[in-house]
A and B are shown apart, each in its own frame.
Chain A
Amino acid sequence: METWWHALTFSLGYNTSVVTLGSMLLAAAAGMVGTFVLLRKRALVSDAISHSTLPGLALAFILVGLVTGDGRLLPALLLGAAASAALGLWAVQAISARTRLGEDAAIGAVLSTFFAFGVVLITVIQSMRVTGQSGLTGYLVGATAGMLASEAQLIAACALGLLAAVLVMRRDFLMVCFDADFARTQGVNTWRVDLLLLMLLMAVVVVGMKVTGLILIVALTIIPPVAARFWTDQPMAMVALAALLGALSGYLGVTLSSVSEGLPTGPLIVLCAFGLFLASFLFSPRRGVLASLLAYRRFRQRVHLRQGLLALGRDEPIFDGLTLSLLRRRGYIRRDGVATPPGQAAARDAEHEERLWALYRERYPDDALHREHAGLTPIAQVLSADAIMALEAQLMGLREMRP
């Protein structure tokens, strides 16, 4: 616990602090890029990328190992991983563009083939006489404990570059994610924007390999954006929030893993991210489970209140306990169940609303179908003013016809 506190306050030495900061930057970049990938509905592509890094990584390790005797040279490993990830991406694109297979099928095929090849290469490495073999498992589950400050600096620099690239391209990404057809009419080369987004995603995966491991990096591009979606309805706010949540999970995960030797960083970061997701899922005031439950309660009360008021207006007896207590609490009825003057006024309003909605349903049945709970929300909150005016006028007309 005390070690964790030291790690959290960056007082565990220079190396650990640099590694923590580097991981946080990377996780932030992953969250930002991941948000756009998620909004483009291509979250699975990151899975394909991460799995197809393995053969390139292993090949680079073998080549460097044959030349120098020690395969652990971070820049070379990153380059190798990037090259084979690019090949994997190209294969996915080519399969989904030139055959009748969908992108999901292409991803499944490419992902498994590349990963299988990578695993074969790793067994080859284990039979080789090269030092640093144990370092390779760090790329599978992530290991920041033994990371050098120079490696962390490289990761941080790449992450900063990614953040800058996302900042520059944010509007193009957003346009393409929301409405690619429209973006094309605005002179946006959507093909190039998509390619760039995938490139950034690939860079995140490759750079993040050392931190979370090549499989789990996917989680950092998906979980923080999904968690962020619970808190906001604004696109750029979602991007910023995903970056923040990503950085926070990186911070918690890396510091936790420094508590004891051999704790895997990647899984810890991902579990922290999941914790943040779970908290968002439960407690978000907009879309969270708790808020939905409360909203359901409120909705039920509204239905009871409306039915009670309509019954008041028609002078029908009310038996339901909840309805009675709701009406009483608002002062619409007296203890003995007789309507008060405000209750009568509210009943008249409710009746008028009901008539407007009924007319609306009659006139525009298709449109009314699209609205949930049509009729319970005050009509002024749903329809624009001119539409309501038209309805009111029609209602007046109907009354004149049937005096």
Chain B
Amino acid sequence: MPDPRLAREVIASPFAIQGLTVSYDHRPVVHSVDFVVPPGSMTAIVGPNGAGKSSLLKAALGITRRLTGEVRVFGRPIEQMSRHVAFVPQRNSVDWDFPARVIDVVAMGLFRDLRWWQFSGRDHRRRAMESLGRVGMEAFADRQIGQLSGGQQQRVFLARALVQEADLTILDEPFAGVDAATETAIVEVLKSLRDEGRTLLCVHHDLSTVRDYFDHVLLLNVRRIAAGPVAEVFVERHLQATYGGRLSPVQLARLVGSAAEVGGR
């Protein structure tokens, strides 16, 4: 049972961060961030370069060390609940000349379901192929991963996460350097996951698409600037605070102008 003293929203949330600080050489890159991801939401983490977006995710997931802070999945420490969390890392974090086919990479998502004496059987292959189908890549199953384009690599990484059928999928810059068709395809898959009641958390860098893709947002610049539903939080005041006045009036007008439209509808 989760600790009964926890807030109800923390117990309900698939990803609740409390007091997370990450530092490299005594310099905090993420400072004391609290953030509760609402269940069933599609949430973006937005902030300028060097704001600690990826560092926050990596530390929260236990990939890098965190200085302080707790991360809970449905009220329990994430270390016990990692089965419920799927992660899509940045595409350039691996060597794509690795001797593996697309299907081998997707099968890595099945790691937990396979014991050492088992060889991956027909059922596992079927599940991997299903995930590949969802991202439109089933024709590429036996292709060497080095032959894929950037967009296709991203689709394969997404398929590897899909095969885990996790409640929460965390993506680190899934739209960086992919073609427009792939971006649309990925957004479609993510929205279909949300419609199944799953939760999505994305590091996102393109401010102009935040409104179209996401319903919740965390504005981050080392510290938490603001968080909540996009319509309430994604406004000029918070954006200026996040980007430290680096957004031009034209950019802001475009972003906030669309906010006015949404508000008026």
B124-160 at interface with A (beta carbon < 8 Å): 136-137, 139-140, 144, 149-152, 155, 160
Residue from B89, B93, B111, B116 having most chain A Cβ neighbours under 10 A: B111
Task: Tell me whether chain A's interface is mostly helix, strand or loop, or mixed.
Answer: helix
A336-390 at interface with B (beta carbon < 8 Å): 363-364, 366-367, 370-371, 382-387, 390
Q: Which residues of B contact A385 (CB under 8 A)?
A: 136, 139
Given the known inter-chain contacts A186-B111, A233-B144, please indicate yes or no for A367 contacting B100, CB distance below 8 A.
no
Bound together, the chains give a CA A387 to CA B140 distance in angstroms of: 14
Given the known inter-chain contacts A168-B116, A179-B93, A187-B83, please indicate yes or no for A364 contacting B101, CB distance below 8 A.
no
B102-133 at interface with A (beta carbon < 8 Å): 104-105, 108, 111-112, 114, 116
Q: Is the CB of A178 within 8 A of B100?
A: yes
Q: Indicate whether B98 reaches chain A with its CB closer than 8 angstroms.
A: yes
Residue from B83, B155, B179 having most chain A Cβ neighbours under 10 A: B179
Bound together, the chains give a CA A170 to CA B136 distance in angstroms of: 29
Q: Is the CB of B108 within 8 A of A371?
A: no
Q: Is the CB of A178 within 8 A of B140?
A: no
Q: Is the CB of B100 within 8 A of A234?
A: yes
Bound together, the chains give a CA A382 to CA B112 distance in angstroms of: 32
- A-B pair count, CB < 8 Å, reads 103
Bound together, the chains give a CA A23 to CA B95 distance in angstroms of: 33
Q: B94 touches which one: A170, A179, A366, A367 (CB < 8 A)?
A: A179
A171-203 at interface with B (beta carbon < 8 Å): 171, 174-175, 177-179, 181-188
Q: Is the CB of A178 within 8 A of B105?
A: yes
Contacts A/B (CB < 8 Å), 28 sampled: A39-B99, A41-B95, A168-B116, A171-B111, A171-B114, A178-B98, A178-B100, A179-B108, A181-B63, A185-B85, A185-B86, A186-B111, A187-B82, A187-B112, A233-B99, A234-B101, A235-B98, A363-B180, A366-B177, A367-B149, A371-B149, A383-B181, A384-B139, A384-B181, A385-B136, A385-B139, A386-B136, A387-B151
Q: Give 7 nearest A-B pairs by CB, closest first.
A: A387-B181, A185-B87, A364-B179, A233-B144, A367-B179, A168-B116, A187-B82
